[in-house]
Chain A
């Protein structure tokens, strides 16, 4: 890596360098928006196995990683993906068949866990989920937790408020921090050192990045540092957190990237039809993932006409009037 190119890398090299068999990973975005899909497909293409994945509601990307056979353990709040898959289909299938180990949390809890990881504290508190099976049912057993130094010994812990009734709360729930080995996010703009500008909702991307040992940023546009530094208040992640920068237009496709393109309802609904049948899903992987060299190969299969349809309207930031039935 020379000083000139900063941290810019090819996607296959970035994945090979930072995503190893069995590593702990999180990906950015939410359901059908701004998932780092080019990176997800490259992970599948490189046949990386045994990942321990942390997810709040990272619908499209997590479902493909499960379907691609990359995930062994999953801590998750929500495995759903809107109309085309109210419950993500490969996620549902893998759990019903006992193919992956999993544990359930809530969206707030997962967001807080990344926040605690980013802050460097061992746990953080909330008042969500008292009296529920989110607290009572553990997906990972006590034995498994004690054997694995990368998994905390408890799932969630109920604690009497040590400050009496301060804050009008008799109890709190302690939630363990997450520090992934690697987080991958897709952003609208980045410079070659990794400073990021996201547009629209940030979900939990910032904490997911700051909590991780390594961060791969894929971006729609690689821009000069002076452009981002002209308005630093609009940048969410400074370069110090980032290990690799990969410029990759349509890198979130088939999920949406606000102000650039919409999600592709046609791809997502076709995908659901494939995902429901093992044989069709294998054929889908063979054609769209293994059958192409890289993300551009997948985009070529989709075709320019379809990509033009989902192009964002500059006024609204999405494809106004797009047929989404």
Chain B
């Protein structure tokens, strides 16, 4: 069966979402994954956006979290304060799973989406945190989309925008953060998780057609590959959902 790597990444993420989860998403592939999950594993999951729209009826794919498409038939259209309070507040916050992306990630899942090089005169400036740091600070579970390239998996991020496990076990709590942290890193080559004890990233699954060694070759730091198994490719049903129901206009995939 033919499928693209972006389709594979989307399905890997969708499978991480459980029924009843409140899913914080941005746009692009993270939104497609959240929309797909509603058809696959999590019909009762709820998509919400940092702009304040909750449970939007997404007849078309929004290109921004402020797109009028997120406002249509939502349960409520609030604002930024309400959206972030939903995650900071433990009553609802503990039900939230976040989906983020970044320019760099280190072995503890700390993210950089601000700048490469010097902060004041960067080689490349990116958009900055937006709500990413808030989400990573507040929610108990987070999925992170990355492209697997050496420079994107450095030993140390150039700027720590969003907290993962900081510098290891207990560091979040010591710094003042809520428990939680990243759950999975989904790339174009595989899926990584974080060890319960060491909080370090390890390879959990590699995609059909690649190898654990090839994944290591695309990272600056080493990860444990002893637990890695081959990932299950998308099923025909999953692909049909992506292509016919979620993104028929092919805006993202």
Contact = CB atoms under 8 A, between A and B. Distances in A.
A binds B: yes
A168 B129 CA distance: 25
B159 A133 contact: yes
Contact of A107 (B59, B80, B90, B177): B80
A87 B126 contact: yes
Contacts of B59: 316, 320
Contact of B176 (A115, A134, A169, A262): A169
Interface string A176-212: 0000000000000000000000001111111100000
Determine the main DSSP class of B at the interface with A: loop
A61 B52 CA distance: 20
A254 B67 CA distance: 13
A182 to B, nearest CB: 20
Contacts of A111: 79-81, 84
A106 B134 CA distance: 7
A96 B60 contact: no
Contact of A32 (B67, B79, B160): B67
B160 A115 contact: no
B11 interface: no
A250 interface: no
A111 B83 CA distance: 11
Contacts of A171: 175-176
B66 A31 contact: yes
Interface of A: 29-34, 56-57, 59, 76-83, 86-88, 91-92, 95-96, 98, 104-112, 115, 126-134, 136-137, 139, 158, 168-173, 200-207, 256, 258, 262-263, 265, 312, 316-318, 320-321, 324-325
14 contacts: A33-B68, A79-B128, A82-B63, A107-B80, A108-B80, A108-B131, A109-B134, A127-B138, A133-B119, A133-B159, A171-B175, A204-B81, A256-B68, A318-B67
A98 B72 contact: no
Query: How many B residues are at the interface, by size bracket?
Result: 35 or more
Contacts, number: 210
Given A96-B125, A133-B114, A200 B77 contact: yes
Minimum-distance CB pairs A-B, first 10: A80-B127, A171-B176, A78-B130, A131-B175, A30-B66, A108-B84, A318-B68, A111-B80, A82-B64, A33-B66
Determine the main DSSP class of A at the interface with B: loop
A128 B137 contact: yes
B121 A98 contact: yes
B90 A168 contact: yes
A86 B6 CA distance: 18
Nearest to A112: B81
Most buried by B among A32, A77, A107, A169: A107
Contacts of A168: 90
B127 A316 contact: no
B80 A203 contact: yes
Contacts of B120: 98, 139
B69 interface: yes
A203 B127 contact: no
B50 A96 contact: no
Contacts of A320: 59-60
A201 B129 contact: no
A79 B127 contact: yes
Contacts of A170: 173, 176
A132 B53 CA distance: 27
Nearest to A132: B160
Most buried by A among B68, B127, B171: B68
